Amino acid sequence: MTPPDVLNFIEAGPFDRKEQATIQGLHDAIEAKNPGSHFAATLRRNVVLISELSELLSRYPSVFDTQSLGKRQRNLDSLIDMLSRANLSNFEVFLPTRALLGRTLIMAEMNFYRFLRYIANEALGEEAAAAHLVRTDLHLCHCIYTRLAGDLLTSISSDSSIALEIRKRAVLSLLHVREQIAVRIANFMPLLQATWDARRNVVVTGGTLMGTAEMFQLLERGCDSRFVDLLVRPDHTANEAAAFREFLFAVSTEQLEQLEQKQVATNMQSASMEGLSHMPMPPSLDETSGDPTLAMFEFFLSRHLAAAARRQGALPGPKRTAEEYVMIQFLRSQDELSRG
C-alpha cells in the first residue's frame, strides 16, 4: 500500500517519465519546505483523480477495435468513413465515447498544470518556484498544443470542401490523438510542436509589416522549416500568405490592413509596436508573467474563429489559420506518398 504522503503514478497513467519527474520534484520541494502541508496533499489528490480518469478512459473499447452488437458492426474503416462525411455541427455526435473522454483528459491535464503553477508560487515563493515553473509550463504548453491540434484536425475532418482522402487522413490522426492516454503532439506531428514552441519566443517588431524579421526569428528559435516552406512555396496562395502574417504578428488581417492604411496616410516607414498594442498575444509569450494557457488559446482561437467566420460568410481574407493550411498540405503530401 502506498504511504499517504507519497505520489503514486500508475503504469498506464497519463504522465510520461519527464512529467512524472517534474511533478515529483515539485512535490518533494513542497514537502521539504513544509512537511505535511495541504499543498502537497492537494497535489497528491489531484494526481489520483487524473489517474482515475485515465483508467476510466482505458476501460472503454479502443477506437481501433471492431465492435459488434446485433446486426451492427463498427470497425476503423467504417468509423473513419462516417466521421469524414460528417460536418462540424454533428461531428462529435459520431465520435466514440473513448475519443470524447480523450479530449476531456487533455483538458484535465491542462488544468492540473495550471494548478501546479499556482501551488508552486504559493508554497515555495516566486523565486524558489521559478526553476520548477520552467518545466511545468513546458508540459502545460505541450498539453495545449495537443488540444489545439485536435481542434485543427476536427476542422479539417469536417470540411466538405477538402478532398475526402485528406479528410480521412485527418480523422485517423485525430483518433490517434484521442485514443492514447499519454499522447502528445510530438508523437504524431512534431512539425506543429516545434513551430509553436518557437513562436512562443518570437518578439514581434512590426517594421514594414512584411513579417521578414519575425520569420527569421521563428526559424532561429527552432521552428520546423517545413512549416515555413509550405507557406512560402512558389505556388502559395494570397490567403496562405495572409494567414502566415497573422501567425507572425498575432493580429488579424483586417487589423493589419488598417495599420497599413495608417502607414500610407501618415507616410510612416515602419509600424511601431504601439500600433500592435491590441495583439491577443504578448510580443513574446515567455516575457509575460500571466497564464500561458490563456495566451496560447487566445493566440490560436482568435485566428481560428476569424478564419471560420470568413469561410462561412464568404468574406475576404484567409479562410483558415496558417497551421491549418500547413496541416492540409502535410496530409496531402502523405496521401501522395502512399499512392506512390
Q: Is 71 exposed, middle or buried (0-12, 13-18, 19+ CB in 10 A)?
A: exposed
Compute the average pLDDT of residues 185-202. 82
pLDDT reported for residue 277: 43
Confidence bin at 268 (pLDDT 50/70/90): low
Compute how many other C-beta atoms are within 10 angstroms of the C-beta atom of residue 296: 22
Confidence bin at 186 (pLDDT 50/70/90): low
Angle at the Cα of 211 from the Cα atoms of 279 and 230, rounded to 5 degrees: 110
Res 169 pLDDT > 50: yes
Confidence bin at 293 (pLDDT 50/70/90): confident
Q: pTM to 2 decimals?
A: 0.86
Confidence bin at 202 (pLDDT 50/70/90): confident
Q: What is the pLDDT of residues 19-42, one digit of tens each?
A: 999 999 999 999 999 898 899 999
* DSSP designation for 223: -
Res 107 pLDDT > 50: yes
User: What is the distance between the alpha carbons of residues 134 and 72, in angstroms, rounded to a whole number?
Assistant: 50
Confidence bin at 215 (pLDDT 50/70/90): very high
Sign of CA dihedral 336, 304, 91, 316: negative
Determine contact, residues 185/149, Cβ cutoff 8 Å: yes
Lowest-pLDDT range, 119-123, 175-179, 276-280?
276-280
Res 296 pLDDT > 90: no
pLDDT reported for residue 250: 86
Compute the average pLDDT of residues 144-170. 93
Give which of 155, 146, 144 is closest to 178, Cα–Cα: 146
Lowest-pLDDT range, 13-17, 199-203, 205-209?
205-209
pLDDT reported for residue 261: 80
pLDDT reported for residue 212: 86
pLDDT reported for residue 184: 67
Res 129 pLDDT > 90: yes
Helix (H, G, I), strand (E, B) or coil at 256: helix
What mean pLDDT, rounded, does the chain reach? 86
Res 143 pLDDT > 50: yes
pLDDT reported for residue 279: 42
Lowest-pLDDT range, 36-40, 118-122, 150-154, 266-270?
266-270
User: What is the distance between the alpha carbons of residues 145 and 150, in angstroms, rounded to a whole number?
Assistant: 8
